[in-house]
Structure formats: structure tokens, C-alpha cells
């Protein structure tokens, strides 16, 4: 199986259901003929509107998080079973904002990844370092640890449904971007960690995305790197002209 090329837009807490429907409908028209995997991770309340707007296009709709339990007294959360019932096939797990503001840990990332895979949902697992950690020169050690912890208990056959995203925390929403070489080095580190746990063959199949102020100006250079298989795009994915350009790179 060849490696997938993936562009995922993480909308965060932006756009209403009606705005989502309008955006997705227009994007679907613009992306006719695009063969790579295009994903829009929309707020929970926008999922139904997004699914209707997708119509017959190849755009996939993702959730931005989910709980690791099947059900229970977890106010404000949604389960993999709920997402599965909506035919959602992707979910972002371990985004740095979830780690920073909502107590996401390496343990919960692993539990969520296992739960998503159990229900046939592909986890987009986010890993990355803070500016302090980069300055301490521990980026590679930290990222390899995050990758292997996230994959604890994940069987080899499920790796065909796993996506990773390298997100340098210092570059998210700041306008700062890792250089293409920096980004490629860490994506290669992620691939090496997967190879050590499974095999080089499996590692080469896993899409590894770069996320961190990706925009229409830097996307082509980033996507040209050998170990970057696409992007997890934040603010630029909310601007249809920019997102279209990024996808078509």
C-alpha cells in the first residue's frame, strides 16, 4: 500500500453550522479532481452540517477530540461510538491545545487512540515540543517518547489507519513556522520511532503531517520535504482561497 498524502484543516472553535455548510459546499466544488485525502476537523455542533454539505465529494469530516470511554458521566464529551454512528472516520488526538488547556496527557492520548481504532476511526495523533524543550535540545527524545507511548498496545494491522502530526508547540497560532529542514528532521524522527516499534515498511506507510502556522506561502516548500506527507492546517484552513492553494500544492 502506498503512503497517503493528507491535508487536514483544524478549524478549532470557529464557524457556525451554517457557515460550515457554505464553506464545505464551495470547497467541494473547487476540489474536483483532487486525489489526495482532504479532511476538515470541525466543531462538534458543525459535524452534521458538514456531512450534508460534503455531498458526493471526497472531503472527509473529522472531530477535534473524543473521550476514551464508551459512555458515562462525562459532561461535555463525545464518544467514539457517537462519532462512528455519524460515519466520522478521523479524529484529532493530543493536540497541544488539548494538552495545555484540558489536561490531555500521553496516557489519555494512548487510550483515545486505542478507542478510536477499536471503532474504525483513524486517529490523527499530535506530538511536539515547547520552545523551552527545543532550546534544551531534547526535541528528538521527547517526540520519540510521545510516539511510542501513543502507540502502546496498537497492533501492527491497525497502523494502516494511523496518522501522525508533528506540531512544534512554539509555532502553533504564533505565526512562527519551523524551517522546512527542522520540520522534516522531526517528521523523520517520528518515522524512525514507528520503524523501531514495528518495521521500516510500516513506518513508510504512515502519513506524517506538519502542523504549525502552515500557510499558502510556505506550504509548497514544506510539502516538498522527504518525510512530510501533508499538513495539519490551522488558521489558513478557515480561508477558502488559502486552503485551496495549500491542498493543491
Pairwise CA distance, residues 81 & 115, whole Å: 9
Cell numbers representing residue 50 in the block: 458538514
Q: Is the pLDDT of residue 104 over 90?
A: yes
Cell numbers representing residue 5 in the block: 498524502
Domains of the chain, start order: 6-248 (3.20.20.70)
How confident is the model over 136-163, as pLDDT tens digits?
A: 999 999 999 999 999 999 999 999 999 9
Cell numbers representing residue 22 in the block: 457554505
pLDDT given at position 33: 86
pLDDT given at position 3: 63
How is 50-92 classified by DSSP, letter by letter?
HHHHHTTS--EEEES---SSSSSS-TT---HHHHHHTT--EEE
95, 97, 104, 119: the catalytic one is 95
- 156 DSSP assignment: G
97, 104, 129, 167: the catalytic one is 167
How confident is the model over 11-65, as pLDDT tens digits?
A: 999 999 999 999 999 999 999 988 899 999 999 999 999 999 998 898 999 999 9
Catalytic (active site) residue 95: yes
Q: Is the pLDDT of residue 173 over 90?
A: no
Pairwise CA distance, residues 117 & 133, whole Å: 30
pLDDT given at position 1: 41
Catalytic (active site) residue 97: no
Q: Which residue shows C-alpha cell 491497525?
A: 158
Amino acid at each position: 500500500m502506498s503512503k497517503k498524502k493528507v491535508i487536514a484543516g483544524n478549524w478549532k472553535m470557529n464557524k457556525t453550522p451554517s457557515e460550515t455548510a457554505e464553506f464545505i459546499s464551495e470547497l467541494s466544488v473547487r476540489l474536483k479532481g483532487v486525489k489526495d485525502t482532504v479532511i476538515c476537523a470541525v466543531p462538534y455542533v458543525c459535524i452534521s452540517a458538514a456531512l450534508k454539505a460534503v455531498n458526493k465529494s471526497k472531503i472527509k469530516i473529522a472531530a477535534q477530540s473524543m473521550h476514551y470511554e464508551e459512555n458515562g458521566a462525562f459532561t461535555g464529551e463525545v464518544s467514539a461510538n457517537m462519532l462512528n454512528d455519524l460515519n466520522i472516520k478521523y479524529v484529532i488526538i493530543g493536540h497541544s491545545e488539548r494538552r495545555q488547556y484540558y489536561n490531555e496527557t500521553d496516557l489519555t492520548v494512548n487510550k483515545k487512540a486505542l478507542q478510536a481504532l477499536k471503532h474504525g476511526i483513524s486517529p490523527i495523533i499530535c506530538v511536539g515540543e515547547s520552545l523551552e524543550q527545543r532550546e534544551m535540545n531534547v526535541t528528538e527524545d521527547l517526540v520519540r517518547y510521545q510516539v511510542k507511548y501513543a502507540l502502546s498496545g496498537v497492533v501492527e494491522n491497525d497502523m494502516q489507519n494511523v496518522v501522525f502530526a508533528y506540531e512544534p508547540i512554539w509555532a502553533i497560532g504564533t505565526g512562527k513556522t519551523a524551517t522546512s529542514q527542522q520540520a522534516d528532521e522531526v517528521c523523520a524522527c517520528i518515522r524512525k520511532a514507528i520503524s523501531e516499534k514495528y518495521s521500516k515498511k510500516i513506518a513508510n506507510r504512515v502519513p506524517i503531517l506538519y502542523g504549525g502556522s502552515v500557510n499558502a506561502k510556505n506550504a509548497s516548500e514544506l510539502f516538498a520535504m522527504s518525510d512530510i506527507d501533508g499538513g495539519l492546517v490551522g488558521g489558513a484552513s478557515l480561508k477558502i482561497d488559502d486552503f485551496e492553494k495549500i491542498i493543491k500544492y
